[in-house]
Structure 1
Amino acid sequence: ATSLAERVAGLISTVYPQLNNPQLVKRILELEKEYGSLDPAVCLKIAEEVAKEKLCKFAKLEEGIDAGIRVALAYTTLGVVSSPIEGYTEFKLKKTKEDEDYFSVYYSGPIRSAGGTAAAFSLVIADYLREIFGYAKYDPTEEEVKRTVTELYDYHERVTNLQYLPTEQEVEFLGKHLPLQVNGDPSEIREVSNYRDLNRVETNCIRSGFCLVLGEGIAQKAPKILKMVNGLREKGFKLTGWDFLEKFVKLQNEIHESQKSSKESAVYIKDLVAGRPV
């Protein structure tokens, strides 16, 4: 496979063999002509067309949506890393309190290879398909939001440091406002320290993919994702599930400013191993 379009088709055909067809390659090239190479709009459009079975058939709609997310993520990551196959693992339909279907998107550790921006953008892709097919938004409970905060901090303190550790305020805001449920496969033997046994969270174990997508993905790259979302809206993509992002970036800036001013008055040596410098 030489071109990006061919690499994308080749990579995703390991999960969905029917996508290894010249039609997909041709369509990606057409969309690149229309929107420009590597434009996020190409991702959303190709995800939509794959999910709507315009390029090949699937056993059921959920399979088409899953394939659409994978193809778009493979395009975003240039078809060279394993994250569209192993990092994003699946999406499931679950029930809201009103008994409507919402999206729960599953990630595992290899999503790290996609990089924070692509990992976060995969949520935009999934949510775009949610909106197109008319599924409900996720309606988190208070416990689920608190579980998110606890799990992120448990992961950072007990498993491995996140490149970016959002404040509790940031995590809580994301937990309340994301239009779909970020989920993950249980990757650690350790359990979360609190908020276990929740109905809509299948495991009590720490989920690395979940923590990476939230911490190093959407929290760390929010300003970049906001720019991408605004650019896509100008091209006619609705993305109403992401109205909260502007407020989040504003909140983040305020937090960072207040942290800066408090840091100027005191010097912290954070996370340093005691003893001789390594």
Structure 2
Amino acid sequence: LKYLNLENRMQEQKQASKEIELYFKEIDDKLKKAYKLANEARKKAYDPEDRIDIPLAKNMAERVEGLISTVAPQIVGSGISKRILDLEKKYKAMDWRISLIIAEEIAKEKFCRFKDKKEAMEVGIRVGFAYHTMGTVASPLEGFVGLDIRKRKDEKEYFALMYSGPIRSAGGTGGSVSVLIADYVRKKMGYYPYDPTEKEINRIIREVLDYHERATNLQYLPSEKELEFLAKNLPVQIDGDPTEKIDVSNYKDLERIGTNKIRGGFCLVFAECLAQKAPKLWNRLLKFKKEFDLEHWDFLEEFLNIQKEVKAKGEISKTNKKITPNYTFIEDLVAGRPILAFPLRTGGFRLRYGR
């Protein structure tokens, strides 16, 4: 009787799977029919474009390809989506190394040709970034505005990454990974690291603080010490279009920064991406930095020590405790709000959130 029941269940499952297959086939057939009809309607020239804008995708790899094809149509059917699927078999889905490898291969024009080297590298960064964000947000197109090749003081070329406000849709980790992908492409393509001047470093500090104080509150405001350290050590320049009507309060008219206005995308990448997500970035990098020649990012380890010391207001150097008080969350407290607990106060109230 047990075996009969088991056999019946197996037959039911097989029957159900056939029904589901037919169900999906019907959806697929009707979708293709609707697309064919819509494309025929577009060819009548009543609309500004003669084809359907939204590409169909069977999986995430095709979704990534379809998203970036809006700025680089030549990548469609070039083999990028197949290569992503092959890399997922070697590593695992959503592994950061896949983003790095696919960005490098596109930059080296292994799948299709581009008008110049700069476009190839830019599209490579976009595809790597789009893979990391699962091809579901606009950040690889609108948050990462583009790549600029600029001259160092010794006339060698370096990368300047242009960002705008929509970078926030990628989240802090996504934004910081986009910088890592771009730097990996820079290294593999033979470009030199960014060489910030003292004025440019001070401009970064001042602009992030101005954005927080005069434009909108940042989720995480790095200290001047954190900002200075990041500005000195980042191998690429973070830049962007002006988003605010107000000028930065100091360090204007700099040669390698094209505007005196506050740049929202730049501030978000520096503060809420690189500074806030540095611990996660460093933990992931530890697994493959040697394999991928990213050991010049070792500065993050020292940055995290600076960050801990700043958050603990120097208490980290006075005690041997592994966990120190973090005063960040009560720094901008509105007057009159009740305080449930001070940092690490004995008997204090704590909320713990999962994912």
TM over 0.5: yes
The count of corresponding residues between Structure 1 and Structure 2 is 274
- What is the aligned partner in structure 2 of residue 230 from structure 1? 286
- What is the aligned partner in structure 2 of residue 194 from structure 1? 250
* 3-state SS of 2:220 partner: coil
Q: Which has the higher contact order (CA 8 A, sep 6+)?
A: 1
Whether the 8 Å contact between 2:210 and 2:249 is mirrored in structure 1 is yes
Q: CA RMSD in A?
A: 2.0
Distance 2:298 2:155 in 1: 24
Question: Within the alignment, does 1:255 sit opposite 2:310 as a pair?
Answer: yes
Distance 2:315 2:128 in 1: 38
- What is the aligned partner in structure 2 of residue 116 from structure 1? 172
- What is the aligned partner in structure 2 of residue 100 from structure 1? 156
Residue identity in the other structure for 2:148: K
* 3-state SS of 1:244 partner: helix
Distance 2:336 2:190 in 1: 57
* 3-state SS of 2:313 partner: helix
CA drift of 1:240 comes to 3.4
- What is the aligned partner in structure 2 of residue 90 from structure 1? 146
- What is the aligned partner in structure 2 of residue 149 from structure 1? 205
Distance 2:315 2:76 in 1: 51
The structure 1 residue matched to 2:276, chosen from 217, 220, 241, is 220
Distance 1:270 1:28 in 2: 44
The structure 2 residue matched to 1:53, chosen from 109, 121, 137, is 109
The structure 1 residue matched to 2:85, chosen from 6, 15, 29, is 29
* TM, length-normalised to structure 1: 0.93
CA drift of 1:243 comes to 2.1
Distance 2:246 2:126 in 1: 29
- What is the aligned partner in structure 2 of residue 72 from structure 1? 128
Distance 2:285 2:155 in 1: 29
Large movers: runs of 4+ above 4 Å = 272-277
Residue deviations 1:102-152, cap 9 Å, x none? 000000000000000010111110000111111111000000000000000
Whether the 8 Å contact between 1:178 and 1:241 is mirrored in structure 2 is no
- What is the aligned partner in structure 2 of residue 140 from structure 1? 196
In terms of Rg, which structure is larger?
2
Distance 1:269 1:167 in 2: 15
Whether the 8 Å contact between 1:103 and 1:181 is mirrored in structure 2 is yes
* 3-state SS of 1:106 partner: strand
Distance 2:85 2:295 in 1: 28
Unaligned 5+ runs, structure 2: 1-56, 317-323, 339-355
